[in-house]
Amino acid sequence: MVDVVALGEPLIQFNAVTRGPLRYVSYFEKHIAGSELNFCIAVVRNCLSCGLIARVGADEFGRNVMEYLRGVGVDISRVRIDSSSYTGVYFIQRGYPVPGRSEMIYYRRYSAGSRLSPEDVDENYIKGSILVHSTGITLAISESARSAVFRAFELARRRSFDTNIRLKLWPAEEAREHILKLMRRHDIEVLITDEDDSRILVNTGDGDEAYRKYRELGVGLVIFKKGARGATLYYENTKIERQAYRVPVEDPIGAGDALGGTFVALYLKGRSYEYSFDHAIAAASLVITARGDNELIPTEEDAEVFLNNMRRS
């Protein structure tokens, strides 16, 4: 059994080597990605075990995902190879039309990952874990994947959830309906969210007000991301604010997954809230300095080196 279980779709990422519209890009780097996959890697880097419940296609990209996850220490015993579909891919357009930001272009409809279903949820695997994690992306990709998350959360002892609303995957009204349904049905111990998602879910982009509303929904702890302005941690009516570190931004995608996975792992290990949050901010800061979502997620020791260096500068 593993300490943490996540449910979500592994994807192949093609990241533009040069900035600008994709119509002018000739070269791409291939990376293994997916929100919950990134989360798992962050957990493993911080010395807890993590397993992914997912589906990949019986193709070269699916094999790539399996070998990569095995290599970084994520348990793949519950990743199913689906011979009737394909492994999803997406492209990243960097620095256009907004400098410093990236845009995702998906090719994942009817992919193997979207065929995730309650049948893939191993009851003993879930019950043997400390915590189960998923995101709004998995709720969005298909009705069967959404049902799988609801089933896993029903069986889980403890839960974390990243709202991760992607309007390219579903409309705001549908996202609000299903995410709030999940929150009302199951207590969320750790919620990762941001201003834009909170405007959709609880009609406010203000962190303090959003926290009060999430508390009314049974949420315990909230990590409220604010992009380049940093993030705020709310728990037990306590508030910890952190400014973002000034680092060169290559690609900001994946920062939230690194932040969430790092925090949850250290939190479950009994580290203090402040320590866990500081390391989470460090992880997010390092990830955005390179292309690829998870290669630069630090270990606990490397995050400490980063923090000590930034504090001296």
Domain boundaries, the chain: 4-312
Which sign does the torsion angle of CA 292, 295, 297, 303 carry? negative
Summarised one tens digit per residue, pLDDT across range 185-241 is: 999 999 999 999 999 999 999 999 999 999 999 999 999 999 889 999 999 989 999
Whose tokens are 């592994």? That residue is 10
Kindly state the helix (H) or strand (E) to which residue 80 belongs, with its residue range.
strand 79-82
Q: Which two tokens stand for residue 100?
A: 């410093």
Which letter does DSSP use for residue 298 in this model? P
Q: What per-residue confidence (pLDDT) applies to 248? A: 94
> What is the pLDDT averaged over residues 37-55?
98
Supply the mean pLDDT for the chain: 97
The token pair that represents 133 in the structure block: 């994690």
Task: Confirm if 165 and 197 have CB atoms less than 8 A apart.
Answer: yes
pLDDT of residue 206: 97
Catalytic residue among 82, 251, 257, 278: 257
Residue 211, SS3 per DSSP: helix
Active site residue 302: no
What's the pLDDT at 41? Answer: 98
Predicted confidence (pLDDT) per residue in 150-166, tens digit: 999 999 999 999 999 99
What are the start-end ranges of the H helices in the chain? 35-45, 60-72, 123-127, 136-141, 143-155, 172-185, 195-202, 207-216, 255-268, 273-287, 300-312
- The answer regarding whether domain 4-312 maps to CATH 3.40.50.720 reads no
At residue 312 the predicted structure's pLDDT band, cuts being 50, 70 and 90, is confident
* Token digits of residue 38: 């990134």
Q: What is the mean pLDDT of residues 76-81?
A: 98
Rounded to an integer, what distance in angstroms lies between the CA atom of residue 311 and that of residue 292?
26
Residue 296 has pLDDT above 90, yes or no: yes
Buried b (16+ CB within 10 A) or exposed e, 257-283: bbbbbbbbbbbbeebebebbbbbbbbb
Is the pLDDT confidence value at 260 over 90? yes
**Cβ atoms of 91 and 14 closer than 8 Å:** yes
